[in-house]
Amino acid sequence: MIFSFDLLINALVSGILIGGFYAAVTSGVSLAFGILDIVNIAHPAFIILGSYVAYIVNETFGLDPILTAIVVMPLFYLLGAGIYQVYYVSFEKRGQESLRGLAFFFGLLFITEVSLVLYFGVDYRYVNAAYIGPTWHLGVVEIPLRLLVPCVVGLLLIAALQLTLTRSFIGRAIMAVAQDQLALRLMAVDPIRIKRIAFGISIATASLAGACLIIIQPVEPSVGREYIGRVFAICVLGGLGSLPGAVLAAMLIGIVESLTSTFYGPSWAPAVSFGFLLLTLAVRPAGLMGR
């Protein structure tokens, strides 16, 4: 194996770009798991669902995947709000979220995935857009637009979420519900409503993340599984509930994965994020920017 500087630079750049996309994928889990304490194992399945929605609309109307994702966001929001309602009534209210709630989401993951397999088969699907082919060349550095667009979209999404959480009333209420539900109730705010909104937003991000995913790579239903561990690894590594931490962790994991697959071969890449996860849990469970 010849170590080449060009290769290193390009691996770093694509790692950062992929990292931006990972941040978008993680934002929803960061919100649900980090802030609301809902271990939504099924989140990657909703991301794949987002990919397929982008694919169908792109295939039939030729609409841009990102645009499609933004248009269908309200539908994903409603889906999320509905799921939270079921989750709340069936598990949170009865205090059974730890065992049965987890099993519930695991079941949802399976139902979504298998339904997609039954309907679309296991063929890889992809979308067409003007920015999927070309690559920018800056000296030796190559920036494929296929990676740049999802990265920018992902970072914008995170920025928007962070602004919402820190500046708007709903956002602050979401942060508050994580800290003290009773206090929120005393302020005449219904914590369940706030959590429903937050979970709706969390699933809504999956629509955009799904569109980004199908821009980066062709998608088939079980692709989501690789993202389960990665997403939670990033979320834990960044510090639960910290969006800036999640961006940092996503970049880190993106870079290390990219370096690993460049220098050791792609078959080792999946172990990276999981290795990070186990290491973080063992050494510093609070994460990089944990509270």
Partner 1 sequence: MTVRTPTFLLICLIVVVAVFAASVAIGNDYVFFAGYVILQYVVLSTAWNILGGYCGYVNFGTAGFFALGAYSTVAIYKFTTGDDASFPISVSIPVLMLVGGVVSGVIGFGMGYLTLRLRGAFFSIATLALAVVLETLVVNWDYVGGSRGAYIIRPEEIAPIGNYIRYLFLIMMLLAVAAITVARLIEHSRLGYGFATIRDDELAAEASGVPTLRLKLIATTISGALMGMAGAPFPYYISYLQPDSTFALDYAVNSIAMPLIGGTTTWAGPLIGAILLGSLQQIATVTISSAVNLLLVGCLLVGFVIVAPNGIVGLVRSYWQRKPEEFVGRRRIDADAPGSVP
Quote the tokens at residue 28.
């929803």
Q: Strand, helix or coil at 130?
A: coil
Nearer to partner 1, 84 or 91 (CB): 91
C-beta closer to partner 1: residue 41 or 127: 41
CA atoms within 13 A on the CB side of 210: 31
How far apart CA 205 and CA 161 sit, in angstroms, is 9
CB of 193 to partner 1, least distance (A): 16
**Closest distance to partner 1 from the beta carbon of 174 (Å):** 19
Residues that bind partner 1 (CB under 8 A): 33, 39, 41, 86, 90-91, 94, 96, 98-100, 102-104, 106-111, 114-115, 117-118, 225-226, 228-229, 232-233, 236, 267-268, 270-271, 273-275, 277-278, 281-282, 285
Q: How far is the CB of 132 from partner 1 (least distance, A)?
A: 28
φ, ψ for residue 258 (rounded to 5)? Answer: -65, -40
Nearer to partner 1, 110 or 263 (CB): 110
Angle at 275 between CA 273 and CA 277, to 5 degrees: 70
Is the Cβ of residue 27 or residue 58 nearer to partner 1 in the bound state?
27
Distances (CA, A) of 180 to 64, 111, 257: 42, 34, 38
In the complex, least distance from residue 111 CB atom to partner 1, rounded to whole angstroms: 4
Residue 129: CB partners within 8 Å, gap ≥ 6?
58, 64, 65, 215
Question: Is residue 173 helix, strand or coil?
Answer: helix
By C-beta, is 55 or 227 nearer to partner 1?
Answer: 227
To partner 1, the closest distance from the beta carbon of 167 in angstroms equals 29
